[in-house]
Amino acid sequence: MSVLAAFMVPHPPMIVPEIGQGSEEQVRETARAYERVADEVAALAPDTLIITSPHSVMYADYFHISPGKEANGSFRRFRAAGVRFSERYDTALVQRICDLADAEGLPAGTMGEREAALDHGTMVPLWFIRQKYTAGKIVRIGLSGLPLTEHYRLGQIIARAAEETGTRAVLIASGDLSHKLQEYGPYGFAPEGPEYDCRIMDVCGRAAFGELFEFDEAFCEKAAECGHRSFVIMAGAFDGLRVKAEVLSHQDVTGVGYGICTFYPEGADGERHFLKIYQEKTERECREKAEKSDAFVRLARASVEAWVLRHERISVPEGLPEEMLARRAGTFVSLHRNGSLRGCIGTIMAVRENVAEEIIDNAISACSRDPRFLPVAAGELAGLEISVDVLGDLEPVASPDELDVRRYGVIVTHGRKRGLLLPNLDGVDTVADQIRIARRKGGIRESEPVSLERFEVVRHY
């Protein structure tokens, strides 16, 4: 057991006196808890501090692990250039993490470093720890836009790498909680903010790590949290282990939530393989949904499976409803896995001879040609949720007042640029949100005028 302990910590730069210039007294409770974390790290005397930071290099589809032998940093951008850090990287542990990730098909490694200097999500924890413990190297790991399940897998790999290299490691899960707790905060107030803080402190206080997967992405985005993925990586490092958790502090005085918890492993527990439990639950639910799905979704699933398994485009099967054979219409096929979008491709207007042919083509494109994602792999099929939208006729509208995010999809057009967003999507609650996202998808700037069209859909699950 080489991950000796883990600590969930925030990273407000103002907690450092040279930056806060007295304002750090607002978060004195957090600072006292941080000092206890530093004391506990010093007592453990780890070989390596593994720090996961939301402010390190981040990619949508890749975990960046900082390369090289060492890194430097300072709080210059926070007007405290005299507070400096010079850290050595544990190159052997980094290499083992990369090797294991490569062997398991997890996109992680040392490529693509855009900024070598230490980030404040790393330096704030180090500011406290280095006052009590100056030994040990570090490993700095960024988060990604990949699903929570992949962050958990990275945590599992980190634990294995530490075990196999004989590294006595401590994991520092750096991350603030919601940034929308007060009207005077940096992002204002949203009701999801306090709800997120309450839930995350409860979950982490009980070390109920399986519940971390139940935080919907749209909910987390509305809460404007920045540490959830960091906490999931930490949870993965304790997969299959009993964990003693303790909440040291939780403050909300700046409009941003700061939570500190400690976690110590206490031996094996076969009932705490949370990723396996979650995946089995998800696959069971997907099977149940598939059994109840209609002909539209069954056709899309058959098309996806044939393409992924055999690279084969199926023919239109017999026995389909007449509507699928006689009607022509645009369709969208959407894929989700583990609660996250996994692919979505469609046609605004019909390009094939009937709806069935449209679904077959768009299902293949959704699983293999969506430029935002890697092609779907065979091992993902059991947990894949599929829906099909059949589009109605397009109607021009004179103003956003004629739109309704639940009823209508929208198309925005500026010259040759065009962006589309389907109706009734999680996390899209206002017409303004809908138009803004459609503009972004079409590469249309906010300053550019657009024409608007709306359409209704029939959604099949």
Residues in the chain predicted with pLDDT less than 50, given as ranges, are: none
Residues 6+ apart with CB under 8 A from 91: 69
H-helix segments, 206-354: 217-223, 228-237, 274-292, 295-310, 322-326
In the three-class reduction of DSSP (H, G, I as helix; E, B as strand; rest coil), residue 352 is classed as coil
**Token pair listed for 247:** 């909440």
Q: What is the pLDDT, as a whole number, of residue 193? A: 96
Q: What is the pLDDT, as a whole number, of residue 217? A: 85
Q: What is the pLDDT, as a whole number, of residue 1? A: 57
Identity of residue 103: A
H-helix segments, 22-178: 28-44, 91-103, 120-132, 148-165
Q: Which helix (H) or strand (E) holds 344?
A: strand 340-346
Identity of residue 405: V
Beta bridge partner(s), residue 332? 346, 389
**b/e per residue 168-184 (b: at least 16 CB within 10 A):** ebbbbbbbbbbbbbbee
Q: For the segment 225-280, what is each residue's pLDDT rounded down to a tens digit?
A: 999 999 999 999 999 999 999 999 999 999 999 999 999 999 999 999 999 999 99
| CA 238/CA 412 separation, integer angstroms | 47
Q: For the segment 74-117, what is each residue's pLDDT rounded down to a tens digit?
A: 999 999 999 999 999 999 999 999 999 999 999 999 999 999 99
Residues 89, 139 contacting (CB under 8 angstroms): yes
Q: What is the pLDDT, as a whole number, of residue 203? A: 98
Could you give all domains of the chain from N- to C-terminal order, each with its CATH number?
A: 3-276 (3.40.830.10), 281-460 (3.30.700.20)
Q: What is the pTM of this model?
A: 0.84
Tell me which residue of 233, 213, 116 sits closest to 171, measured CA to CA.
Answer: 233
| CA 35/CA 27 separation, integer angstroms | 12
Residue labelled with tokens 């300053």: 447
